Structure 1
Amino acid sequence: MKGFIEQAFKGNTNWALYLVGFFVIFIIWQLGTTIQGVFVFLKLLNDGLSTNEILMKLSDISVLMGTLESNFNFFLLLLGFVFGFGGIILVVRLLHNLKLKNLITSREKIDWNRIGLSFGVIAVLISGSILLDYKLSPEDYQYNFELNRFLILALIGITMVPIQTTFEELLFRGYLMQGFGSVFKSRAVALILTSVLFGGLHVFNPEVAKLGYQALVVYIGTGFFLGIITLMDESLELAIGFHAGNNLLTALLLTADWTAFQTHSVFRYLGEPSLVSDVYIPVLVFYPILIFIFAKIYKWKNWKQKLFGKVKYEPSNEV
């Protein structure tokens, strides 16, 4: 069985193709994200604001997040990732002559049990953490449940959040991980670059505005965590399940004025974010424990080679 990064050698691995491919994916993705901006613009225009006033307000993320009805805004936010997902499929197939499966796993078939297990682990962890904190500090929570709005939220979340998170995994731990690995012939370089880029993707998140740039530690740390389990398992399946579970459960159960997703969730958090509990504990405590759990379940070996080894060129006509 070829390794995960080595799947790239089943297709075209010229560095220029990866540069063009990333640019194409990014443009298609961003075209999708402009749809939300158009609706916000039209809403503000309907409210009587001038074009110049609207353009000034659109630079404020609170305006982008708070102008439209919450569920509709959530749908529009996720819609951009649907475009991006389509962009990845086109680029992988047309530029690199690969199947989408090559970006997901080095095994013969996608292992849905791995996706389900990882999803379940983080779902239990998030649910348990929220309920425990609610019991310990009920004054920090406001019960926010409205059945009709929540059902719409759940429908949007269940159908579209996995597309958003899988797109991000395919882009960073799939396309770019294999691209950097095949170009630099180094697993460590691929891990570091994709993790830092993943953190940079979140630099404009409201959590960063609230906590400062130290908040990027959790995003870069999450990138390293997802990259490590991808390289050790030689597949994206665990990362796909984890990312989907994390974002979906968070969107359904908890929102706050300073979070990226403003939703009709079960609870609204009234407290302030903390660098210790929201940034450093996940990176330094939860992620190492989860890596240990996955390593025991799947009997991972050859850590040094899989994380720091050279990527071996293995030409293949197989697609």
Structure 2
Amino acid sequence: MRHPYEAHRSFIRPAWAARETWRILVMIVSFEIVFAVSPTIFSAFLPSDAAVNAFYEGTTAFGTLAQFASFGISAIGFLVLLRLLHGRRFWSLIGPAHAAKRDLIRVGRAVAIWLLVFEFLPPWINLADLAEVRDFGVWASLIPLALVAVLIQVGTEEMIFRGYLQQQCACISESPWVWMVLPSVMFGGLHFWNGNGAAEGTIWAIWATALGIACADLTARTGNLGAAIGLHMANNVFALLVVGVQGWPSSGLALFLYPYEDPALYAYGIEALLSPWIVFQLLTMLTTVLIMWLAARIALRR
């Protein structure tokens, strides 16, 4: 019987030539610097102060698109570091181009269909509670740009966590705890700062860790990043395009907008994690990750 992760062996092969631990550590530290300065570099190319302000606020369509597109600066910096420290190029992180494109489309489409189905299930959006419903024609016209911007953002994250880190960690140990779980925990930890407080940040971190594990599993099964990018991209596109809160970051592309609320109202302490409603919220989010992963497995037939 074929091992489910047989394709993973060929996927990690490009990392074997320069697999020393010190290279990974230097790469991580150097990329953190690149990532920190990327918004400043990106904003330097914007045409006006108004555009720069919109970029940093992320509450308009332009601002949200610009924030996601700015990940391209980080991607370029990462690829330069990869070349300098490992002598590797872009496609060594992605896997076979044809297979990656095929799996991205299959999984992205399958996960998007399931997420669309969920949108029609209760609890339904109560239009009376909304502050704004954006013009449908304008909103629909922005979807292609949103897909490109999200592909840049998701592609960058997958290239780093399920590409580089998964490959390099697999060269250190064959244990999934090392090459699957460790990069996913790192990925999840970065999402802690998406929350408005310790409790919400922890929920974000746990959810993102689970998403990372799902994407790592798909990458190991297929031997390329296409499936992971497809799942991650479908998730992020729906998160951006459907529901947002007025005045909150990354709300510029949402069709339905709830009235502005002070984010400090959601800055719950870590003790709130024991609250039934937060436990329910976390379980719901994890169940969604599980369903997306199953949809991807069915689409791939693996």
Q: Is residue 174–residue 236 contact of structure 1 (8 Å, CA) maintained in 2?
A: yes
Please name the residue that 1:23 is paired with: 29
Please name the residue that 2:283 is paired with: 280
Q: Is residue 81–residue 164 contact of structure 1 (8 Å, CA) maintained in 2?
A: yes
Please name the residue that 1:230 is paired with: 219
Please name the residue that 1:252 is paired with: 241
> How far off is 1:95 after superposition?
2.5
Normalising by structure 1, what TM-score? 0.72
1: CA distance, partners of 2:255 / 2:187? 29
> Given residue 287 of structure 1, which amino acid in structure 2 is its aligned partner?
V
Q: 2:62 aligns with which of 72, 78, 85?
A: 72
- What residue ranges of structure 2 are gaps of 5+ in the alignment? 1-6, 267-276
Matched, 1:265 2:246: no
Q: Is residue 246–residue 260 contact of structure 2 (8 Å, CA) maintained in 1?
A: no
> How far off is 1:286 after superposition?
3.2
> Given residue 73 of structure 1, which amino acid in structure 2 is its aligned partner?
G
Relative distance call for 1:34 and 1:114 in structure 2 (3 A) is same
- What residue ranges of structure 1 are gaps of 5+ in the alignment? 47-62, 301-319
Matched, 1:85 2:75: yes
Please name the residue that 1:131 is paired with: 120
Q: Is residue 32–residue 79 contact of structure 1 (8 Å, CA) maintained in 2?
A: no
Three-state SS of the structure 1 residue aligned to 2:257 is: strand
Q: Deviations over 1:103-129 (max 9, x none)?
A: 122x47443221011111222222222
Three-state SS of the structure 1 residue aligned to 2:18 is: coil
Within 5 A, what are the aligned runs for 1:171-182?
171-182=160-171
> How far off is 1:244 after superposition?
1.4
> How far off is 1:291 after superposition?
3.5
Three-state SS of the structure 2 residue aligned to 1:263 is: coil
Normalising by structure 2, what TM-score? 0.76
Q: Deviations over 1:80-106 (max 9, x none)?
A: 31111112222333322223222122x
Q: 2:92 aligns with which of 102, 112, 123?
A: 102
Please name the residue that 1:159 is paired with: 148
Please name the residue that 1:118 is paired with: 107
> How far off is 1:198 after superposition?
0.8
2: CA distance, partners of 1:90 / 1:249? 31
2: CA distance, partners of 1:184 / 1:239? 22
- Number of equivalences: 280
> How far off is 1:77 after superposition?
1.7
Let me know the Cα RMSD of the aligned residues.
Answer: 3.6
Relative distance call for 1:243 and 1:294 in structure 2 (3 A) is closer
Q: Is residue 24–residue 87 contact of structure 1 (8 Å, CA) maintained in 2?
A: no
